[in-house]
Amino acid sequence: MTNLNKAAITAVGGYVPETILDNAQLEKMVDTSNEWIVARTGINERRILSNPEKATSDMAAEAVKNLLASSGINPAEIECLILATSTPDKLLAPTAPVVCDKAGLTNAWGFDLNAACSGFLYALSVGSSLIESGRHKKVLVIGADAMSRIVDYTDRNTCILFGDGAGAVLLEPSADYGLQDFILKTDGAGSEFLSIAVGGSLNPFHEDTLQERQHFVRQDGKTVFKNAIAGMTGVCTEITDRNTLAAEDIDWVIPHQANIRIINAVADNLKMPMDKVKVNIQRYGNTTAATIPLCLWDFQADFKPGDKLLLTAFGAGFTFGSSYLVWGN
Ligand code: COA
């Protein structure tokens, strides 16, 4: 009997809102310039969920519907949905059940997972374990974030970086292909360098903190930058060593899209030529948990069965990780 003990990505879907926020528009909002943003981040434009009646669940549901339509999978067959997000529709209740409802997944249970920009990798690891254990045969893993809802558009240190979007993958059992290995890490000492100070159990909302705009994302960009390069380089080196893979054995690197200079530095450290590294940051900015699945969605036509992919992410927490994936199903 064939041993179907790996979880393969068998379908991919994505969604980005129609509204574009480009660098020229940001020049009118904060003291910045197109030249500075392109040179320092590699970003030209981002998508914004401009409809105030829509939220993360709507983008996630659209990504799921896109996946189901392109793969012909019946929504009733989906057994579990894991939603990686830092921007749930509400602090309480969870957003995953809303996504199941909006996408017509009548038989799925689901939950949210918050690991910031590493959320998709963490969720992929949990989802693949559900497949490997034999407990489930069809698990959806989504990365979705409406960053425009938590970004301060008067703060030039953050507002130029982020955008909105959602990406989804379907995991199914496979004998030959799929997710081979994960290295996932956290460093809670980094928590203060990228966070929203107010609104959680530590500092509940208060009118004073609202005036001080503390309900928006704040970061120490330089510290995050340095840790992102070191963190992603470390976990990529560890996972390639553990799987006896040389740089030339890897066909594609799918890095979290935070800053083109971070991506270039990690690729350089890994001696990975940039033509193997997938980049779409120029069009979407940093969509937090959605960057990796949006890359898989954008570039899936380039991946051949048997191609070896290296996924890596770094985010608030700090959280970081890598995954080694053999494409195909
Ligand atoms: N437009 C113009 N100037 C800006 C600016 C903007 N949007 N943002 C900052 N500056 C200024 C700074 O005020 C500073 O001016 P000063 O020298 O007079 O003090 C100068 O540009 C350099 O700032 P610095 O912070 O050193 O820039 P940087 O090269 O580190 O780039 C980030 C800033 C935020 C782009 C970069 O640090 C970064 O990408 N960090 C990681 C952030 C990230 O990825 N977060 C999510 C993690 S998943």
Q: What does the pLDDT look like over 4-23, one tens digit per residue? A: 689 999 999 999 999 999 99
**Ligand 1 touching residue 195 (CB < 6 A):** no
Q: Please state whether the predicted TM-score (pTM) of the whole model is above 0.75.
A: yes
pLDDT of the residue at 4: 66
**Whether the CB of 286 sits within 6 Å of ligand 1:** yes
Q: What does the pLDDT read at residue 19?
A: 98
Q: How far is CA 303 from the centre of its chain?
A: 19
CA distance 300 to 134: 27
CA-closest candidate to residue 182, choices 135, 241, 234, 121: 121
295, 257 contact by CB (below 8 A): yes
Q: Per-residue pLDDT tens for 275-303?
A: 999 999 999 999 999 999 999 999 999 99
The CB of 32 under 6 Å from ligand 1? The reply is yes
For residue 1, the model assigns a pLDDT of: 43
pLDDT of residue 203: 94
d(CA 161, CA 114): 20
Distance CA 141, CA 81 (A): 6
Instruction: Identify which of 140, 89, 145, 155 has the alpha carbon closest to the alpha carbon of residue 117.
Output: 145
80 among known catalytic residues: no
Cβ–Cβ < 8 Å for 5, 173? yes
- Residue-by-residue pLDDT tens, the chain, 329 positions: 455 689 999 999 999 999 999 999 999 999 999 999 999 999 999 999 999 999 999 999 999 999 999 999 999 999 999 999 999 999 999 999 999 999 999 999 999 999 999 999 999 999 999 999 999 999 999 999 999 999 999 999 999 999 999 999 999 999 989 999 999 999 999 999 999 999 999 999 999 999 999 999 999 999 999 999 999 999 999 999 999 999 999 999 999 999 999 999 999 999 999 999 999 999 999 999 999 999 999 999 999 999 999 999 999 999 999 999 999 98
Q: How far is the CA of 284 from the centre of ligand 1 (A)?
A: 18
Among 25, 278, 323, 1, which Cα is nearest to 178's?
A: 323
Positive or negative, the CA dihedral 101, 299, 324, 321 is negative
For 257, residues 6+ apart whose C-beta sits below 8 A from its C-beta are 263, 279, 280, 281, 284, 285, 286, 287, 291, 294, 295
Q: How far is the CA of 145 from the centre of ligand 1 (A)?
A: 22
pLDDT at 329: 86
Could you tell which of 32, 35, 117, 259 is best to mutate to test the pocket of ligand 1, judged by most ligand atoms within 8 Å of the CB?
A: 259
CB 266 within 8 A of CB 234: no
Domains along the chain? 6-177 (3.40.47.10), 180-278+300-326 (3.40.47.10)
**Which residues, other chains included, contact 53 with Cβ-Cβ below 8 Å and sequence gap of 6+?**
none
Ligand 1 centroid, distance to 157 Cα (angstroms) = 6
> Rounded to the nearest whole angstrom, what is the distance from the C-alpha of residue 221 to the centroid of ligand 1?
6
CA 119 to chain centre: 6
Q: Which amino acid is at 57?
A: S
User: Whose Cα sits closest to atom 41 in ligand 1?
Assistant: 225
Q: In what helix (H) or strand (E) does residue 173 lie, and over which residues does it extend? A: strand 164-174
Please choose, from the candidates 305, 207, 311, 178, the residue with its C-alpha nearest in 3D space to the C-alpha of residue 256: 311
